[in-house]
Amino acid sequence: MATMIPAVSWLRACWTLLVCCLLTPGVQGQEFLLRVEPQNPVLPAGGSLLVNCSTDCPSAEQVTLETSLSKELVDNGTGWAAHRVSNVTGNSRILCSGYCNGSQIIGSTGITVYRLPERVELAPLPPWQPVGQNFTLHCQVEGGSPRTNLTVVLLRWEEELSRQPAVEELAEVTATVLAGRGDHGAHFSCRTELDLQLQGLRLLVNTSAPRWLRTFALPVTPPRLVAPRFLEVETSWPVDCTLDGLFPASEAQVHLALGDQVLNATVTNHGDMLTATATATARADQEGAREIICNVTLGGERLEARKNLTVFNGPKIDRAKCPQHLKWKDKTRQVLQCQARGNPSPQLRCLKEGSSQEVPVGIPFLVNVTHNGTYQCQAVSSLGKYTLVVVINIEGELTRGHGAGLASPGGGGVRDRGGRILTSRFLCTARNSHFVPVLLAVLTTLGVVTVVVALTYVFRARKQRGLYHVRQESPSLPLTSMPTEAMREEPSRVE
Ligand SMILES: *[C@@H]1O[C@H](CO)[C@@H](O)[C@H](O)[C@H]1NC(C)=O
Ligand SMILES: *[C@@H]1O[C@H](CO)[C@@H](O)[C@H](O)[C@H]1NC(C)=O
Ligand SMILES: *[C@@H]1O[C@H](CO)[C@@H](O)[C@H](O)[C@H]1NC(C)=O
Ligand SMILES: *[C@@H]1O[C@H](CO)[C@@H](O)[C@H](O)[C@H]1NC(C)=O
Ligand SMILES: *[C@@H]1O[C@H](CO)[C@@H](O)[C@H](O)[C@H]1NC(C)=O
Ligand SMILES: *[C@@H]1O[C@H](CO)[C@@H](O)[C@H](O)[C@H]1NC(C)=O
């Protein structure tokens, strides 16, 4: 006979010894039994119990409960006594004793104490589990007794994946699970079962907090990216990124970018297919070689597609940096300041209208009258061309202009390759429509000069007689002012 009291104290050892000594002789001469009710009770740790000691012996005396547990008498009668035993923290044995016809009679029972586990915990699952790969469920169970009746069950929803006894005080139970698509969003949990059904209790169950699993599948191929190879600044073009074989496609994240510019993508999915579309608009500062990037992220993994793209400007000539009306003096060094920009870099040439005569751009050169004219400045690249008209006026020298112009209107001119007379030192100052009035003016002047000469002659004759006024007035005649005024007009070609 051994007690099951865990904390063995000296007092308890003595008590046990006493029980044994009392019990042995009594069993033989016992006609009446001392009943202990209930028999083999099971109660939770710290619980209490009503114990009834009773006998059918008509002359029963001193019926009582003998225990080291705390007890109190609840009620008694002839041949019985009921006690409440409280704070039962461990398995114990209790004893009832009494006297019948002067002989001691006894009865006993064991008390089984059970405890529910203090902790049942399913370890966190991987945040994303690849489909087709194993993962492990870990369940930890702390406390709980009696251990022999404690079982740990791992569950997917209500499906039992594994059932194992909890042996150690801190028991860890594991199960390997092959992840499938069906496990996406599945609920996993761990359950302990304390089975004391033979002792008349229902199944005592404790369940861990549930864990949800997310599974995913990514194809091995990168996304298919459809994007333009060339994109002009400030223009828009659609960009498409598609990926098939993605599970669950609805949870994939798509990132579309043009260089460092994130594109606002519209994402749609049909089954395992995901499509992201965006409109790419290149900024001026993005000119040059860029990349269109599409990355698809799912389950912490990323698939990326990149495509090279050239952001270009069609060629342009900056009007602000290219004066369109130039007035240069003949025989001076000048620079035609013009700049073209674009990507790829355009070639800039300025050719005279109607001829292939070219003026150097950005390089000093000696100006002469042949440069007079209208030029088509053209910036050309593989992506297009841009034209700006530049007019160059060459101003001849005043002093040299007079005589030559008067002498031969045509002779002082310069012919271009087309055989046209471009300018003459004098006539470059006169427009075609002015030619006749000028000629008339010249002829008139000649006439006036003739008259003046004649008058002078007459006046000289008079001077000899003491009269002389006209000579002083002669410089005021508008003879010489004509060519000077005409010189100031813009030069022009004469056909
Ligand atoms: C104890 O048992 C006796 C005999 O069976 C019974 O008469 C009595 O009522 C019981 N007392 C209690 C409190 O159950
Ligand atoms: C119950 O028993 C334990 C030791 O067995 C003791 O520490 C505790 O104080 C008791 N509680 C009550 C309420 O008597
Ligand atoms: C998964 O684990 C089981 C055993 O638990 C094993 O037979 C199987 O080969 C494993 N599968 C993979 C893909 O690792
Ligand atoms: C509980 O454990 C006890 C002692 O080990 C055993 O006799 C009993 O059969 C177990 N009960 C169940 C339901 O397993
Ligand atoms: C992104 O696109 C959607 C529709 O395509 C539009 O409603 C939204 O305003 C856009 N957001 C930005 C920041 O451009
Ligand atoms: C996707 O690519 C861009 C580069 O454009 C990068 O900044 C971003 O971090 C990437 N996303 C992920 C999840 O790696």
Is pLDDT above 80 for 478? no
The most confident of 21-30, 333-342, 430-439, by mean pLDDT: 333-342
Is pLDDT above 60 for 418? no
On whether residue 347 sits in a domain, the answer given is yes
Taking the CA of 68 as reference, the closest ligand is: 2
Give pLDDT, residue 313. 82
Six-digit token pair at 307? 């495509």
Mean pLDDT, range 284-293, rounded to an integer? 91
pLDDT band at 396; cut points 50, 70, 90: confident
Percent of the chain surpassing pLDDT 90? 62
DSSP character string of 17-81? HHHHHHHHHHHHT-SS-EEEESSS-EEETTEEEEEEEEE--TTEEEEEEE-SSEEEEEEEETTEE
pLDDT band at 435; cut points 50, 70, 90: very low
Closest residue by Cα to atom 8, ligand 2, is 87
- Domain extent at residue 87: 29-114
On whether residue 14 sits in a domain, the answer given is no
Is pLDDT above 60 for 5? no
Q: What are phi and psi of 481, to 5 degrees?
A: -70, -25
In terms of C-beta density within 10 A (0-12 exposed, 13-18 middle, 19 or more buried), how is residue 415 classed? exposed
Same domain, 126 and 107: no
Is the C-beta atom of 33 inside 6 A of ligand 1? no
On whether residue 438 sits in a domain, the answer given is yes
Closest residue by Cα to atom 4, ligand 5, is 266
Same domain, 390 and 470: no
Of the residues 361, 395, 429, which one is the last residue of a structural domain? 395
On whether residue 46 sits in a domain, the answer given is yes
Among residues 220, 218, 213, 275, the alpha carbon closest in space to that of 248 is found at 218
Of the residues 362, 395, 428, which one is the last residue of a structural domain? 395
Q: Say which DSSP state 146 is in.
A: -
Same domain, 352 and 326: yes
Same domain, 134 and 179: yes
Give pLDDT, residue 314. 84
Same domain, 410 and 491: yes
On whether residue 228 sits in a domain, the answer given is yes
Helices then strands, counting H and E runs in the chain, come out as 5, 35
Is the C-beta atom of 176 inside 6 A of ligand 3? yes
Among residues 161, 120, 105, 114, the alpha carbon closest in space to that of 137 is found at 161
On whether residue 7 sits in a domain, the answer given is no
Q: How many domains does the chain have?
A: 5
Is the C-beta atom of 195 inside 6 A of ligand 4? yes
The mean of the pLDDT values for the chain is: 80
Give pLDDT, residue 444. 57
Same domain, 409 and 460: yes
Same domain, 308 and 381: no
On whether residue 22 sits in a domain, the answer given is no
Give the E-state strand segments of 213-287 in sequence order: 215-216, 224-226, 230-232, 236-243, 253-258, 261-262, 266-270, 273-281
Q: Which atom of ligand 2 is nearest to the CA of 70?
A: 14
Q: Which atom of ligand 2 is nearest to the CA of 46?
A: 1
The CA 264 to ligand 6 mean position distance, Å, reads 14
Mean pLDDT, range 23-31, rounded to an integer? 48
pLDDT band at 438; cut points 50, 70, 90: very low
| Structure confidence by residue, pLDDT tens digits, 443-452 | 556 555 555 5
Is pLDDT above 60 for 481? no
Is the C-beta atom of 244 inside 6 A of ligand 4? no
> Comparing 168 with 9, which gets the higher pLDDT?
168
Same domain, 379 and 357: yes
Mean pLDDT, range 22-45, rounded to an integer? 75
Q: Which of 37, 39, 52 to mutate to test the pocket of ligand 1 (most atoms within 8 A of CB)?
A: 52
| Structure confidence by residue, pLDDT tens digits, 207-230 | 999 999 999 999 999 999 999 999
Same domain, 129 and 212: yes
Same domain, 108 and 134: no
Of the residues 64, 97, 114, which one is the last residue of a structural domain? 114
Give pLDDT, residue 385. 86
Give pLDDT, residue 397. 64
Report pTM: 0.63
Is pLDDT above 70 for 440? no
Closest residue by Cα to atom 4, ligand 3, is 176
Give pLDDT, residue 398. 53
Q: Residue 285 belongs to a domain with what CATH number? A: 2.60.40.10
Is pLDDT above 90 for 325? yes
Give pLDDT, residue 454. 53
Is the C-beta atom of 255 inside 6 A of ligand 6? yes
| Structure confidence by residue, pLDDT tens digits, 124-153 | 999 999 999 999 999 999 999 999 999 999
Is pLDDT above 90 for 281? yes
Is the C-beta atom of 20 inside 6 A of ligand 3? no
Same domain, 37 and 66: yes
On whether residue 338 sits in a domain, the answer given is yes
Same domain, 262 and 303: yes
